[in-house]
Structure 1
Amino acid sequence: TLPHPLRDGSSVVPLGALTLPGGSRPVAVLRHRSVEAHPADTDGTGGGLWSVGTDSSGGNDAAGTPYVPPAVYWHALRPRDAQGSAALRKLTDTRAEELFDEVANAVARHLKAFRAVEEYTGPSSREMSQEAVARVLPEVSDVRLLAGVTALVRNAVDRAVAVAQYLEPPAPAQPVTPRNTARTRGMFFDHEPEHGDDTTLRAATAWGAEKMRGSWYGGGHRWTAIRQILAVNHVLGGEPAFGPATPSKVPFTPVDGWQRDEYTVPGEGTTWTTLLDKLPELAYRAASEATSAEHRAGLLVLLEAFAAGPLADPAGTVRRVELVEPLDTANPGRNGRPEAVHRMGQVLRKGSRTVVVLADHGRNSRDDAARWLALDHDPTGAFGPVPGFTLDREHVYRQGIARDRLTRLTALVREKGPAPWRPEAAEAFHTATGIGPLQATALLSAAVEEPGAEALTLLGTKTRAFETAQGRLDALPRDERHTVLRALLPADPAELWSTGPDVRAAAEAWREHLGSLVRVPEELDLDLSGATAASVDLLLNAGARGWLAHGTPVPDGSTRPALLRVGGRGTISNALTALRTLAYTLPYGHPLRAHLPVGLAALRSRLTDPALVLDLGLDWTDSGVSLGTAIRAAHGLPESGGAEADGMVRAGSALLLAPGYGDSERLLIRPAGLAGPDDPAFGLVEGIVSEHRTGDFLALRALLGPEADA
């Protein structure tokens, strides 16, 4: 019997006496979903004998039993190993002590072997313990019972070790080693300049949609960008990294004179490398009176960090590149996928050349290679291969600013404050280029996307008008726009305070790079709110500018030209909207109207390219089924398989199925295979895909049809 409630004050459900092999009859009670066994004829003060959870694996007290049924089924339990059970009931103190010692020795041997090598591949501690139990108790033949006994003995060993450690006299006090050092937290871990945090720098360095990218999770400030820039400049200048040590298990084979630093640079945070092409523009913005005090302070911190090493003026000696490293597909990891080696923060050197791994760029589409973002500094500009990697997506930085020029500008801003705003400079730039007064003001102010009220008052403009002007500037070809911005910074930065920006050089750059661009004059004051500025400019210049030109080649292993997979979601519908908006808003007889049929013809010509394949975001039917299933059924294709050498399934001449998320398939469109606006493919897709997903596909039909000509 047991008292109710128990001595600990808890209430349990009595189950009765549990008759076990050998005649033992502990009292069983149900506590929540666990069965507890207590000694018979006790007052409950001594606690329970054991406890196992039901409707589960049961834990260590039921090791060897994959599933412990609810107590209502326990009457059907039978001994699994009669001989083994009998041996356990007759276990003497001597054999129990031998059992304990053998398991303890097995645990010690495993620990010693594990610590002796970098990567242990031998038997586990549990396996070695179970072998020891089998040697001491050969009568136990059932592996499940053997596993259960092993777990109980191992539990006793662990408890004995814990008691011994508790009773062991404390070790003499050791000198305290500082935990917050560069070796543990990374290079420049304590560098936290005011307004130099990632959030401020992201806003201060943005040019429209061109922003620093990265992980913005969590609260509070983070300084990952500024710390990594300082660290990279440090190692590119020839100094060794001094962050955490490179993990000893990460392989590296010195080949052809290459060496690896013993320590690492910070390898996480924001992607700031795109700023290396924009340092003169950022310097000009830092000196602009239209820049807020907070953003100016952040820009000065950033520019001074770049000026501390070779990154300020790459001049063709620094490149951004992806290092592609094959994975060991023959030995998959625990999750069944090949595991990548941790490379972030590593510094590789050969002579004066230095390669720094900055970020993990994931894996390739076949999941058999890892991709790492790296900066490669070669003072000769020759670059070359990196042993162990293939190289992809190379970009050489050529637009920097001399370090002494940059240092002079930051010193002037700190000494004098921002250069005064000069409205006459904006007017002169408009007169020289015809850009329009508002756009000239927005360009020369170098203001951020959403300037404050103080900046708008300084510039003499309103929020909505300034946003429109900024949108027009953002629609300009990116490289050409930055060329004009760079030209605004005088060779001697001090001239910003005496004579203002270099309007003459900027106007010459505009005429050279953007002078032939056809644009809607600012003075027309048309309501183009339904169309994006980029799509309007594209339509008016479609014959001279690329449309749907940037994508991913899809090779098939042959010598034929590869298909080009282009993301067209939003692009097709924006082009149609721009065509309609200009047709409705341009005054009758205006010279710009003559560009509309020319632009439409250029768009249609691009759509006839047999290599062009559009990804319009078509994955699922309106009922939530993979679109590939419906397309296969409509074209009489098998439910799976059928992919050609390029990995895609053809469903007629215009529709292709590519692997999507999981087992789904994504529908791609090959416009050259469509038989005009009445092609059955339009009706098929429109009938099974929800309306909010077919906008671009139906816009494609409109561009091909007579409606666009009207």
Structure 2
Amino acid sequence: MTAANEERLGLIERRLRASGKGEPAGRLARLLTARSHVPGRSAVLLELVGRLADRLRADGVPVIGPAGLTVSDLDLWDLLAAEAVPFEFTGARFIQLTNWFDDDGPGRRTLLAFAAHPAFRDAFRRACLDELSSHTFGAERESPLHPNLLARALSVPGVAAGLEAEVDAVTARAAAVPAAELRTILRRLQPLRSSAGYAAFGRYLDRVSRLDAATSVVRTLRCGLPAELVWPEYDTAVAELDQQRVRVERQWPLLAVHDAGTAFVFDPSGLLARYELRVSDREGLFGRFPARCTLHDGRLLVSWHTDAGERGYWADSPGAEFLLDADGIDLGGFMVGSVTRPPDPAEHVIPGGRFEPVPDGGTLLRRWRRALPPGAPAPFGAVDGETGWDLVQVPDGLVVRSVDGRQVPLPSEAWPPGIAGVLRLPGGDRLVTADAFGTVTLWDPQTATPGFVLDKRSSLPPVGWWDQMRSRDPVGSAALRTGTSGAPAADPVLRAAVEEAAEDAVELAAAIARFRALPQEPASSTVSPHAHNDNVRNGLAGLLAPWNPYTVRRRPNARPSSGYGMLSYLAVLPAALAGAGTPAERHARRWSGKVPGWTQVLSGLGAVALRAGLSTTPEPEREALVAFLTAVADAGLADSGADLTVVTVVAKGEHIADPAAEFGMAAEFADGIGSGLGLSCHRMVVAGPVLPHDRLRVVERVPLGGWGDAATIRRFVALLTARGPARWRPEWVPAAVAAGLNLPPDTITTLLTGALYVTVNDDYVVPSEHLSATGLSADAERTAARQVGALPPERLLQLLNAAMPHEPAVLWESGPDLASLASAWRSAPPDPPYEFAP
């Protein structure tokens, strides 16, 4: 801390000590509120609070935390807890751990006191485990966490303690929960499904190995299935529609369900109207999207997009088409193929309900009532023609009480605004909740966990209309409550639902088996902490030409939490090409955090080696490039003679989940391209031949082995490890001119140092170490880099690849291959290094 800052800090401390009782706590509370949306820690504030801890304790006035559910400034709350300073922070639910990990500034604390404090303990434990699945922390979708990231999390004592407590808790209750909650638990534990995770938490993960998937499914059946209920008129209508295009629109008391050709409108008394949609054929893009039906003040509007704008007609007046904009009708931001209107809980959960004020001094917290039509089944209960529920505070916690007196506990994880009611099923009552997006949950009263989760794509009506439903097979439903997975069911829909639940047992058993195999897995190996995606991206910047221009820019502030997806993908590539892994794992690899365009450097790995081998390359990027080269060699992608091909194909079909399986190839999705207009483009690594297919066209092939083979790369890495990077020598510049490289000296210097800074933003500052090593000024480096950066990326890749000696030791002995570089410069610019198939 500078003398000026020390003097200023001392002045603030003296003023606060001289202030009245409670004033330091009040000022700190106001400051924390102002900082609640500011990322990063303040070392100065931590120092000040540390000095004032005795005064804050002596005053005994609590520091009031900011309003809201999110907790930031973790180090400061940790300090207050460690110093026993009184504070109040109510409602803490979300902990911003990623921001804390990304902040490497001074003032970082262990978070042990924070992790143990009752105000934060439960939320912090949940956050620690969930952070391991977060892409913001560098996690890959549905994949075990990279050992580097796990080690990073465990290096923080408070996070390690929180992780252990949460893993202990979730694995302890896994043996007693229904299938839906067990699936959630296994998903949360997925980041630990590795030898590194087992080394840290094996004594808890062994509990998972002993689970019985079939037993969890029996618990699900005992809790109840939404398919036990039926609204016959709704079922009949939906059965007539195209199941791939069914859409639901709500405007209480009306409910519309439709596909591209037919719409049904219901009210609480049953089917109100049926309409056959009359939409003219449309050419081009808009013709690919079906018409949409929406409800407006009791009328059904049929609308569709055209080149001239949104057109439509009222379903009860099909002959009168009009432009919606001209008539002032707003569809809530509806765009082609999507709905941008934010969901309204009043539409999706309990439309038409009315909430009454909280009585003074009473225990009733919330009340909802709605009138039922005569003869309605009332599965949520009814009294005097009304259905509804109350949220009530009782000595043991909160309960949801149906209007007819039945009540169930409110689980701590349930969302109170989404309570739909106390559902009456044969053999038991169940709490039903729904979120703002229409996902419905039936809660298990024994474990207070989700017994069944029904997403909004279900064929059942929205939960707001469940008071029209009745039990479809009372005898079969009652049999499910007995806890036998083979319970008889006369109704075919209920029988199919039971069979689907039984299929869940197969999926869960496979997931459990993967945890059971952990003790036999080889030990996970870590890599350099600097070998994360951002540093690999920076190391390859300028050599790639991705379709997105923003992805070629260097990132001046590389985030350690960007993850190790590139190296993880290359590490499992050989086994994946051999057929290892489940469809879910193949899908996860498709969306793993690879560096965009990485396959393009496979035709010129010498350029990557040149950058890695020179002393002018920053050490973090050097370590990342070395790890990348090693992983490429180990994956078999450095040898031209290997039975591997990197191809880009265009396929007929936009939504091809697994192109390798679709077209009968041993292949892995290598790089995302895109899809549209009935086609999709995939870049893949293929083992063996690319089989011809009438829906598939190969548009480019990336050659392998543009510099050396795997043995060359390993020899280079060994030399770099033993000797350190090759020192930059100014005499290389005149030697390059003598070899025939007719370029300005600054441009030659930029090329011979690997052209590291050819793709930078205007505000990027080239490191001073680079400038002092090369003797260039900042302006000279920027000018030369822009000149070289004007070359096509494939041209720069070719030049730098030529400059790297085929025998790696030559780089340390005499420097880059200047003759080859000059020859490559004099040669005509090559076509892109791809073989274009007809």
- TM-score bracket for the superposition, by shorter chain length: 0.3 to 0.5
TM-score (norm 2): 0.38
TM-score (norm 1): 0.44
Q: Work out which of the two has the higher radius of gyration on C-alpha atoms and give 1 or 2.
A: 1
Higher strand share: 2
